[in-house]
């Protein structure tokens, strides 16, 4: 990985991080590399990617995502690590739902580090959801990505042993909150708090098994 990152540094100005991430996705999903990527400046990187396993390619993609300041999808590894440790300690790791799963980093880690039999992500951004589908398509565990607004999916009756949420939701004005409460019907627990994370807390309660474990990230 270090050699690859050194090579990436030599491409500054001729290839963006997004283009390199696109290369990685194409390698994972076994797509043909476009001719535009076959100039002399990228041949060495393509050669290095040829020798990587799927898991190594996935790791490279997420490392590049951290480097990309303009990425629309972010994650916090320390928070994910804490949640995974909680799930390992207090559950049998049968199933995991990630609300606002982004490009699927938590699902990837759960697949790599846990023993889950089924993993599902919900992501409102269709482009980001499609990226996660391609990234995780070769994973051993059954991973499903739903292109859906998690805040309005209270109609889902599927139960999960573990639920994780690190979703950023910044538009929870009174009108939006009322819309969400109405869509949830009687299953929504109201509070005076205006924290948008309360919406995802309700989703966790809605879809968690009776003895399940849920974790949610609440920011200051």
Higher model confidence: residue 189 or residue 163?
163
pLDDT score, position 175: 79
| Residue 186 pLDDT exceeds 80 | no
Answer yes or no: are the C-beta atoms of 182 and 212 closer than 8 Å: no
In sequence order, what DSSP letters do the residues of 36-96 get, joined into one string?
GG-SHHHHHHHHHHHT--HHHHHHHHHHHHHH-TT-S----HHHHHHHHHHHHHHS---EE
pLDDT score, position 72: 53
Residue 169: pLDDT band with limits 50, 70, 90:
low
- Range 112-118 average pLDDT: 93
| Residue 85 pLDDT exceeds 60 | yes
Going by C-beta distance under 8 Å and a sequence separation of 6 or more, which residues neighbour residue 120?
95, 96, 97, 98, 143, 144, 145, 146, 158, 160
pLDDT score, position 141: 86
Q: What domains sit in the chain, N to C, each tagged with a CATH number?
A: 2-67 (no CATH), 77-216 (3.40.50.150)
pLDDT score, position 188: 67
pLDDT score, position 191: 65
pLDDT score, position 92: 95
- Range 81-88 average pLDDT: 96
Going by C-beta distance under 8 Å and a sequence separation of 6 or more, which residues neighbour residue 111?
119, 136, 139, 140, 141, 143
pLDDT score, position 161: 98
Residue 9: pLDDT band with limits 50, 70, 90:
low
Predicted TM-score (pTM) of the model is 0.85
Q: Which class for 201: exposed (0-12), middle (13-18), buried (19 or more C-beta within 10 A)?
A: middle
| Residue 21 pLDDT exceeds 80 | yes
């Amino acid at each position: 990985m270090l050699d690859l990152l050194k090579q990436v540094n030599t491409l500054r100005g001729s290839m963006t991080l997004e283009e390199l991430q696109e290369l990685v996705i194409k390698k994972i999903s076994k797509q043909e590399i476009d001719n535009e990527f076959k100039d002399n400046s990228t041949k060495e990187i393509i050669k290095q990617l040829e020798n990587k396993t799927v898991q190594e390619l996935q790791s490279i993609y997420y490392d590049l995502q951290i480097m990309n300041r303009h990425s629309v999808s972010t994650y916090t590894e320390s928070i994910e690590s804490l949640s995974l440790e909680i799930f390992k300690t207090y559950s049998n790791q049968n199933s995991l739902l990630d609300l606002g799963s982004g490009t699927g980093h938590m699902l990837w880690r759960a697949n790599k580090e846990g023993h889950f039999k089924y993993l599902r992500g919900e992501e409102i951004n269709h482009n980001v959801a499609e990226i996660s589908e391609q990234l995780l398509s070769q994973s051993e565990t059954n991973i499903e990505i739903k292109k859906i607004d998690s805040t309005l999916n209270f109609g889902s009756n599927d139960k999960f042993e573990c639920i994780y949420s690190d979703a950023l939701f910044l538009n929870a004005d009174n009108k939006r909150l009322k819309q969400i409460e109405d869509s949830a019907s009687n299953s929504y627990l109201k509070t005076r708090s205006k924290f948008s994370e309360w919406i995802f807390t309700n989703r966790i309660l809605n879809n968690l098994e009776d003895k399940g474990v849920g974790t949610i990230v609440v920011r200051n």
